[in-house]
Structure 1
Amino acid sequence: MQRFLFKLKRFIFTLIFLCTILSFLVAKDYTIVHASDIHFLSHRIAEVDEHFMKVIQNADGKVTHLTPELTSAFVYDMLKLKPDAIILSGDLTLNGALESHEDLIKTLKPLVKANIPVLVIPGNHDCDGSAYVFKDNETYEIDSITSSDFLKLYKDFGYSNTILDNHSLSYFYKLSDKLWILMLDVNANATFYRVKDESLVWLEENLKKAKKEGALVISSTHQPLTIHNKRFTFGYQVSNSNEVLPLLKKYGVKLNLSGHLHLQHITKEDSFVDIAASSLVVSPNQYGIIKIKDNKLISYETKSVDVSAWAKSNNINSSELLNFSSYSESFFDNTTINKLKGKVESIKGLSSSEVQLALNYAAKLNREYFAGHVKANKNDAGWKLWEEKLSNVSFYSYLYSIVNENKEDNTRLIF
């Protein structure tokens, strides 16, 4: 009996040992979340008064006055999802004010405490420029933080225990030995959207190491590496992408996660994919979820932040937050209408119903385009009206480019 028990124990120990070894050999599945262009604005430097609301209602559709609440709701979602990493690809704040950076970091801290790596890079609105305070129905200019400030403030958000570039705020983050994330900075220290020559050397050296170690590399930039709309070129991509992109392809990088455009759009160039994420603070307020299995990219899809669930869980009695999805959508549409109303109404011969149809159609088409899934087509009454009576309005050429673009769904992808 004792001999049998001895053999049984030895068998069990051997089995445990083999299972442990096997767990190291079998590749781990990963879930990575990507969000961009939070444009966080601290309530400490923004009074939601008539002047402030007029500014943002005539801007680009961001629910700027609700960025602290929206970001808190995003953190709430992430604590439930528990991804292996979160990538925030720049324009973390509206204009680089210290107060906004400090309050954003405070909001994101629960993710770090939950051992969820949050990786950031600066966008063109985050440092080395002018910031603004909105108070007493006025706008006041102040200094933004510097690039060195950014590095110190975000030391717990990717900048510790990483392979850091000495010439920029770029770094490689090893999520594991077999999965590296490249956060490529082109905005700090007034680089004008360009990867410096010294940084290109650093980049190739580490891409070579990653390839030698058999690691999958996912890159992230603020500005995209490819053109996502032919109308928006200069200033809308990494300025020396003609040098960066071949380098990434050479070492087998197949995915770049970007933002900047506030447009949800996917481009494919050979086997390389650049996903420009829509702004988190623009309807439908979505983030991307990337699935990786056996060290291979599997899928990408977007999901909207559930602000109403967060509001309910915190007993917040605000109609804007409890009905956030419809509120954000209407807010975006109204900013489009505000920009176009005067131009459309100035067209002679349009009835009031035609004016309304033209404005509503333009707002809907613009929103669908930014959300990444256009459903409109050339047979729509709104489009026929624009084509027949409003083709001289400058916005027409933009709408034309959308209607005639390939109607692929840019909110999901199977690699």
Structure 2
Amino acid sequence: MIKKLAILSALIISGGFLYRFTVAGTTETEFRNIDPLVSESEDLKIWMVTDIHYISPELHDVGSAFAQMKASAAGKDLAHIDSVMQALVWEAAIEKPDLLIVSGDLTFNGEYQSMVDLAAYFEQVEANGTQVSVIPGNHDIHSGWARKFEGPEMKPTKQVSPDDFRELFADFGFDLAINQDPNSLSYAIEPATGYPILMMDTNIYTDTENTSSPTVEGKIKMETAAWLSDYFQVHNAKMWVGHHPLLSHNDSKRTGHTLVNADEINPLLKKQGITALFAGHIHAQNISSDADTREVITGALSIFPNSVGEITISPEGLNYSHRELAVEEWAQATNQTDPDLLDYKQTAYDIFYEDGATLGLRQMFEEQWYEETYEEDVMDFVGRLNVRYFSGQDFETDETLETHPGYKIIQENSDGFLKRYSTRSLQDIDLDDRNLFIPNDFLVK
């Protein structure tokens, strides 16, 4: 009990958890014996994807309401997201990773039918020899934004409850769980002997349907902290997977980018020797460090360049490398005729570039320094900057952007968001954001 109270006290924050608490409502920690996915002599190969933001084709048409939503989807390619999922199934069948982890925001906005479709795709992935393990993101559970699009109308559609999520994905992670949190959708798996992974529900949502927008911020609930306390008394973990990051991945002070109680959770994980963290949420491919900890954010699958993180666990350590989903190769192999799919890298690039360019134009007006002579240069700079930053290439020097006339215009005229954003996004000098190796002796500290 002394150890449990010590761990829990590390999770109490002002304005968050209560200063007085009880763990009387928790249940005895129960562990299941689950066969590992690989033998002790084999490396474990994991694919990590996040922020699919899938919307079922049954929930939209070619009408004006869906067109308007596509135009405001922050660079997500909603029109081709079903093809992206087909490409993921196809490529996983060829590459055969042992495990596919999906770290939240599976759906566009928590539509039940979208979850049903995804479960069917994950069934195909498993039929081809790769196990699947999923956790929800902030857009997935009881989202008041769950909509279907019919012609000019946008209508509410069925939301997903926590019980729905657990039922729909019972065979995609929960079946691998060696231990589950009774108070959230968190659980632990052990895909390789001696390599447990915590799959954490970091989201804030209601127990009943609501009409509000998804809560951006994330938090580990007090009850889940009690579960972690029980878990750590019996077992250890090597990796933490959640939707929300624990570390800062840029200099932004905007809320919602990390767990609100990250400052309390991270020391606990360090104390337990967990130094490899994985998340999503911010959509950008990024790797950050904090003393003994490394955190990897894999870019959103729904935006350029359709990122997949490949993790190999070997006796030497953990190796992470970024790869791009082979949508064009899938399109050619399956005889697709849509030119947007056959040249998909350009298609996805154009969608994301145009979203960034529009951001630049909009901010010039909002900051009240728009001039027609600035428009083309600023839009081109922000569009290219966005592509570079979100694809994880900003750790490299790019003189074409550093000397771009749009950058100079922003520095001379903006005192607001555009200046801050362009400055911090131009170069990340922390780590290579697309590749990481953590030696085994570092993992077991």
TM range (shorter): 0.7 to 0.9
Distance change (3 Å), C-alpha of 1:51 and 1:88: same
- 2:222 alignment partner in structure 1: 197
Determine which of 39, 60, 65 is the counterpart of 1:51: 65
The answer as to whether partners of 1:344 and 1:393 remain within 8 angstroms in 2 is no
Q: Is 1:284–2:305 an aligned residue pair?
A: yes
- 2:151 alignment partner in structure 1: 136
**Of the two, which has the highest radius of gyration?**
1
- 2:354 alignment partner in structure 1: 334
Q: 1:382, 1:189 → 2: CA distance?
A: 41
Distance change (3 Å), C-alpha of 1:151 and 1:224: same
- 2:437 alignment partner in structure 1: 414
Q: Is 1:154–2:159 an aligned residue pair?
A: no
Unpaired segments of 5 or more residues in structure 1?
1-22
The answer as to whether partners of 2:181 and 2:187 remain within 8 angstroms in 1 is yes
- 2:280 alignment partner in structure 1: 259
- 1:8 alignment partner in structure 2: none
* TM superposition shift of 1:342: 4.9
SS at match of 1:180: strand
Distance change (3 Å), C-alpha of 1:381 and 1:341: closer
More helix by share: 1
The answer as to whether partners of 2:66 and 2:151 remain within 8 angstroms in 1 is no
Distance change (3 Å), C-alpha of 1:27 and 1:382: same
Unpaired segments of 5 or more residues in structure 2?
1-37, 208-216, 439-445
Task: Please give the TM-score of this superposition, normalised by the length of structure 1.
Answer: 0.87
One-letter amino acid of the structure 2 residue matched with residue 167 of structure 1: N
The answer as to whether partners of 1:67 and 1:281 remain within 8 angstroms in 2 is yes
Determine which of 164, 169, 174 is the counterpart of 2:180: 164
Distance change (3 Å), C-alpha of 1:233 and 1:190: farther
Determine which of 85, 91, 94 is the counterpart of 2:99: 85
Distance change (3 Å), C-alpha of 1:342 and 1:36: closer
The answer as to whether partners of 1:34 and 1:86 remain within 8 angstroms in 2 is yes
* TM superposition shift of 1:408: 4.2
Question: How many percent of aligned residue pairs carry the same amino acid?
Answer: 27
Q: What per-residue deviation string (whole Å, max 9, x for no partner) do you get for residues 222-241 of structure 1?
A: 01111212325422212222
Distance change (3 Å), C-alpha of 1:161 and 1:329: closer
One-letter amino acid of the structure 1 residue matched with residue 120 of structure 2: K
- 1:5 alignment partner in structure 2: none
Distance change (3 Å), C-alpha of 1:348 and 1:86: closer
- 1:238 alignment partner in structure 2: 259
One-letter amino acid of the structure 2 residue matched with residue 402 of structure 1: S
Determine which of 406, 411, 414 is the counterpart of 1:382: 406
What pairs with 1:266-305 in structure 2 (closer than 5 Å)? 266-294=287-315, 296-305=316-325
Q: 1:406, 1:209 → 2: CA distance?
A: 39
Indicate the larger mover: 322-331 or 123-132. Answer: 123-132
- 1:398 alignment partner in structure 2: 421
SS at match of 1:326: helix
Q: What per-residue deviation string (whole Å, max 9, x for no partner) do you get for residues 168-222 of structure 1?
A: 11000121331212101122654962212222122133234334xxxx6211000
The answer as to whether partners of 2:241 and 2:279 remain within 8 angstroms in 1 is yes
SS at match of 1:78: helix
The answer as to whether partners of 1:204 and 1:247 remain within 8 angstroms in 2 is no
Determine which of 225, 236, 246 is the counterpart of 1:225: 246
SS at match of 2:173: coil
- 2:196 alignment partner in structure 1: 180
One-letter amino acid of the structure 1 residue matched with residue 45 of structure 2: T
Q: What per-residue deviation string (whole Å, max 9, x for no partner) do you get for residues 52-108 of structure 1?
A: 223222331000121111011011111111112111000000111111001111122
The answer as to whether partners of 2:363 and 2:418 remain within 8 angstroms in 1 is no
The answer as to whether partners of 1:39 and 1:93 remain within 8 angstroms in 2 is yes
- Structure 1's consecutive aligned runs of 4 or more residues displaced over 6 angstroms after TM superposition are none
The answer as to whether partners of 2:287 and 2:297 remain within 8 angstroms in 1 is yes
Q: Is 1:368–2:368 an aligned residue pair?
A: no
- 2:118 alignment partner in structure 1: 104
Q: 1:289, 1:405 → 2: CA distance?
A: 22
The answer as to whether partners of 1:58 and 1:339 remain within 8 angstroms in 2 is no
Q: What per-residue deviation string (whole Å, max 9, x for no partner) do you get for residues 134-192 of structure 1?
A: 11122112341111111111000111252111111100012133121210112265496
* TM superposition shift of 1:44: 0.1
- 2:28 alignment partner in structure 1: none
SS at match of 2:309: strand
